[in-house]
Structure 1
Amino acid sequence: MTARSVAVVGGGAVGLTAAYDLACRDADVTLYERDDLGAGSTSRAAGIAYDAYAEDVDVALAERAIERFRSFSGERDFRFARTPYLWFATEGGAAAGAIREQVERMRHHDRDVELVDAEAIRRRFPVLRADDVVVAGLARTAGTVDPAGYVDLLAAKARDAGADVRTHTTASVALDPPRVNGAAYDAVVVAAGAWTGDVLADAGVSVPVEPYRVQAAVAGGPAIPILYDATREYYARPHAQGIIAGDGVTTPVDPDDYDGEADDAFRDRIVERLRERVVNANVPIERSWAGVCARTPDNDPLLGEVADGLYVGAGWNGHGLMRAPAAGERLAEDVLGERDGVGAFDPTRF
């Protein structure tokens, strides 16, 4: 049956996009968010977007996400700022080999990427030190977005399309038939980020989503490309105040009980990394924070129907905002019977 009354649980980037796309397709949509919109993982995201993936299923989702980011850019205060993405290794071995293989497979999927060496990096990005770079990939279709701007835009668009967006409203999900807070719906979509496992568990559905803590900081500094050091496992991107940077240190946490402040050791580590990489860097930390993300055992998301009338979009491994424009759209299409499931992202695959 084509669902027409749909509840969406979660007011982050994915949930708001799903609510908007459902409402645009004439569904009667009610969105439930227990806090402010975007208050969970979305508000603490770095705002990086790229389509430089080696797997075809990832490419399809990321390409559509960037296409929609571009189409939304210029509405209200939202902007997609096109920015090249450089990822590199400073030692030989597995990381360097992976980059070479990734670029080859990305080019096979028609991504605008190439292998570049240290000299090419110095010419293209003189703000970066590159003498120690062994191999690097450069993707030209990447960009950055402001998470808060995306949340504000999609919330407004969802409301304009007719969705009932309810904040500070806890949602209790049940099945047979799908229900939220006792009200029956044709379908329920759960896109509650790191809290998705708890929401579904209350409905008697188990999914392997592990919440984990990550950290990020805004530092002063010059304009840089988006970059990822695959050897030292940190990323950085340009920001209005300088640079946003974070690293790959993750710790499993309870999403309702974790330290939202960044550690001194993290801040020191990020300053050291940026001073190593950015020429003449003066990179004082302006602010820093910790956030919570969620991953699955295979690091691919859960996207689709997990039980009769119950749909899930979660487990993004830190890429939820990046994929939100496409993920929300696909959830809407699945719910309304406009497409088959998404195969590799089938939430029942475990």
Structure 2
Amino acid sequence: MTARSVAVVGGGAVGLTAAYDLARRDADVTLYERDALGAGSTARAAGIAYDAYAEDVDVALAERAIERFRAFSGERDFRFAHAPYLWFVTEGGAAAGAIREQVERMHHHDRDVELVESDAIRRRFPVLRADDVVAAGLARTAGTVDPEGYVDLLAAKAREAGATLRTDAPAAVALDPPRVNGTAYDAVVVAAGAWTGEVLADAGVSVPLEPYRVQAAVTGGPAIPILYDATRDYYARPHPQGVIAGDGVTTPADPDDYDRDADDDFRDRLTDRLRDRVVNARVPVRRSWAGVCARTPDNDPLLGELADGLYVGAGWNGHGLMRAPAAGERLAEDVLGERDGVGAFDPTRF
């Protein structure tokens, strides 16, 4: 049966996109967000988007996401700002070989990427020190987005398409039939980020999602490309005030009770790394924060039908905003029977 009345639980980037894509396909959509729209993980995202993936399933989602980011850019105050994405290692052996293999596999998927040597990095990006770079890849179709701008745009588009968006509205999900807060729907979509496991557990459904805490900061600094140092495990990207950067240090967290302020040692560690990488860097920390994400045991998301009439989109391992335009669309298509779910991301695989 093609679902027509659909509840979406979660008002972040993925949930809002699903609500919009469902509503524009004439579904009767009600979205429940327990706080303000985008107040969870989306509000604390770094806003990086790229399609430099080696696996076909990841490529398909990322390519569609960037295509939609571009299409949305210019609507209201939302912008997709093009920026090259440089990822590299500063040690040889397996790590360097992995980058070369990644780029070769990306070429098989027609990604606009290339291997670059350290001297080429210095020429293209004189703001970066690159003498220690052993292997690097460069993706040309990447860019950055403002999370708040995306939330505002998709909320407006969802409402214009006829969706009802309820904020300050905690959702209690139940099954047989699918319902939220006692109201029955043809389908329920849970896209509540790091809170997804909690929402589903209350409905008697268990999923292997681990919430974890991450940190980021806005610092001063010159215009840089998007970069990821895979050896020292940190990322940075251009921002109107300078640079947004974060690292790969994660700790398990209770999404309802975690420290939302960044740690002093994180700020010190990050500024040291930026000073090492950016020429003549002045990188005072302007603001910093901590957020919460969720991951699965295989680091791939849960995307699709979990039980009869119950759909889930979660476990993005920090890439939820990056994939939201495609993930929300796929959820809508799955719910309405227009396309099967993404096999590799089948939420019942565990």
Question: TM-score band, normalised by the shorter chain?
Answer: over 0.9
Q: Distance in 2 between matches of 1:309 and 1:300?
A: 22
Structure-1 residue corresponding to 2:164: 164
- For structure 1, which segment, 186-195 or 199-208, has the greater mean C-alpha deviation from structure 2 after superposition? 199-208
C-alpha displacement of 1:206: 0.6
Question: In the TM superposition, what whole-angstrom CA distance separates every residue of 1:236-295 from its partner, at most 9, and x where no partner exists?
Answer: 000000000000000001000000000000000000000000000010000000000000
TM-score by length of structure 2 reads: 1.00
C-alpha displacement of 1:340: 1.3
Structure-1 residue corresponding to 2:9: 9
C-alpha displacement of 1:97: 1.6
Structure-1 residue corresponding to 2:92: 92
Q: Distance in 2 between matches of 1:95 and 1:238?
A: 26
1:55-134 pair list within 5 angstroms:
55-134=55-134
Q: Distance in 2 between matches of 1:4 and 1:149?
A: 29
1:196 equivalent to 2:232? Answer no
C-alpha displacement of 1:341: 1.9
Structure-2 residue corresponding to 1:298: 298
Task: Supply the AA of the counterpart residue of 2:100.
Answer: R
Structure-1 residue corresponding to 2:218: 218
Kept in 1: contact 2:10–2:191 (CA 8 A): yes
TM-score by length of structure 1 reads: 1.00
Question: In the TM superposition, what whole-angstrom CA distance separates every residue of 1:201-235 from its partner, at most 9, and x where no partner exists?
Answer: 11111110100000000000000000000000000
1:320 equivalent to 2:326? Answer no
Question: In the TM superposition, what whole-angstrom CA distance separates every residue of 1:9-34 from its partner, at most 9, and x where no partner exists?
Answer: 00000000000000000000000000
Task: Supply the AA of the counterpart residue of 1:304.
Answer: G
Q: Distance in 2 between matches of 1:178 and 1:230?
A: 43
1:266-281 pair list within 5 angstroms:
266-281=266-281
Q: Distance in 2 between matches of 1:282 and 1:340?
A: 50
Structure-2 residue corresponding to 1:338: 338
Q: Secondary structure at the match of 1:20?
A: helix
C-alpha displacement of 1:95: 2.0
Structure-1 residue corresponding to 2:148: 148
Q: Distance in 1 between matches of 2:261 and 2:95?
A: 30
Q: Distance in 1 between matches of 2:146 and 2:231?
A: 27
Kept in 1: contact 2:222–2:242 (CA 8 A): yes
Kept in 1: contact 2:331–2:341 (CA 8 A): no
Task: Supply the AA of the counterpart residue of 2:158.
Answer: A
Structure 1 residue ranges, 4+ long, deviating more than 3 angstroms after superposition: none
What percent identity do the matched residue pairs reach? 89
C-alpha displacement of 1:94: 2.7
Q: Secondary structure at the match of 1:99?
A: helix
The count of residues paired between Structure 1 and Structure 2 equals 350
Kept in 1: contact 2:178–2:309 (CA 8 A): yes
Q: Distance in 1 between matches of 2:297 and 2:279?
A: 39
Q: Distance in 1 between matches of 2:14 and 2:240?
A: 25
Structure-1 residue corresponding to 2:175: 175
Structure-2 residue corresponding to 1:52: 52
Q: Distance in 2 between matches of 1:110 and 1:38?
A: 33
C-alpha displacement of 1:107: 0.6
Q: Distance in 1 between matches of 2:212 and 2:53?
A: 23
Task: Supply the AA of the counterpart residue of 1:338.
Answer: E
Structure-2 residue corresponding to 1:255: 255
The RMSD of aligned alpha carbons is: 0.4
Q: Distance in 1 between matches of 2:212 and 2:164?
A: 31
